[in-house]
Amino acid sequence: MAANDVKFPAAIDVVDLIVRGEITPAIQRTTLVQYDAQVYQIPLTSAKVWDAAQTNLPGTAATDDLEINTGTWATGVPTIQTGDLKAAGATTRYALFEVATVPEYVAGQTVTLRASAGMLTTVADTTATIDFEAYISDREGLVSGSDLVATAATTINSLTFADIDFTLTPTTLDPGQKILIRMAIAVNDAATGTAVIGSVGALELLLDTQG
């Protein structure tokens, strides 16, 4: 072996790799590890009136609109609620959200919409459910395709909040795509006792990502 030759071992164990400058050729995102079901929060404070998107969700529910409840600072956090629907019969109220898939999202991979939801004070004497519709924006003022949500309305008629997952059909979803989501809480109650209030404490988008 010549004096200037360097002989490397057949295998090198790298503990820390520090790169200064650029890696050539560039590492493609598609070669990176995929991380499934990464959680991205949808701020409840971003909720709008579903058929008047220029209007923030009101503090008092009315007609077919849900309400945003601020809670007490340092004790509670904002939630979205139905208002008291005791003895109101069958009532459905809505809220609108605008979200986007992140750049790291892997096109066509699993997308899940998760709500932490339940009832406050008293359960409904008949039913209480949560449901979603979701549409892709065509970027020209119209929707592209049909409703993405493949999961049926699901009960929230419990005083114990639970995570409820709704599967979105991913075949037409790409990174950075805008989705319009309408959340519906339907309560059917005929009693005249204490308050019957449907509530959502968190809303999240779960995405499969690379990078």
Tens of pLDDT, residue by residue over 13-57, are 656 666 666 666 556 556 668 899 999 999 999 999 999 999 999
* Cα dihedral 26, 31, 35, 38 sign: positive
In the chain, the number of structural domains is 1
Does 206 reside within a domain? Answer: yes
Question: Domain limits at 59?
Answer: 33-210
Does 16 reside within a domain? Answer: no
Does 5 reside within a domain? Answer: no
DSSP string, 135-188: EEE-SSSSEESS--B-S--EE--SSS-EEEEEEEP-TT--TT-EEEEEEEEEEE
Which residues partner with 128 through β-bridges?
187
Mean pLDDT of 167-188: 95
CATH number where 89 lies: 2.60.120.200
Does 47 reside within a domain? Answer: yes
- DSSP state, 65? B
Helices (H) and strands (E) in the chain, counts: 0, 13
> Exposure of 70 by Cβ count < 10 A (0-12 exposed, 13-18 middle, 19+ buried)?
exposed
Does 24 reside within a domain? Answer: no
How many residues are present in the chain?
211
Q: How many CB atoms lie within 10 A of CB 30?
A: 9
pLDDT per position as a tens digit, 94-103 = 999 999 999 9
Do 122 and 178 meet the contact criterion of CB atoms below 8 Å apart?
no
State residue 28's pLDDT score.
Answer: 56
> Exposure of 73 by Cβ count < 10 A (0-12 exposed, 13-18 middle, 19+ buried)?
exposed
Average pLDDT value for the chain: 91
Does 22 reside within a domain? Answer: no
Does 186 reside within a domain? Answer: yes
pLDDT per position as a tens digit, 114-127 = 999 999 999 999 99
Q: Using alpha carbons, select from 166, 162, 163, 81 the residue that is nearest to residue 132.
A: 166
Does 13 reside within a domain? Answer: no
Structure tokens at 139: 């970027």
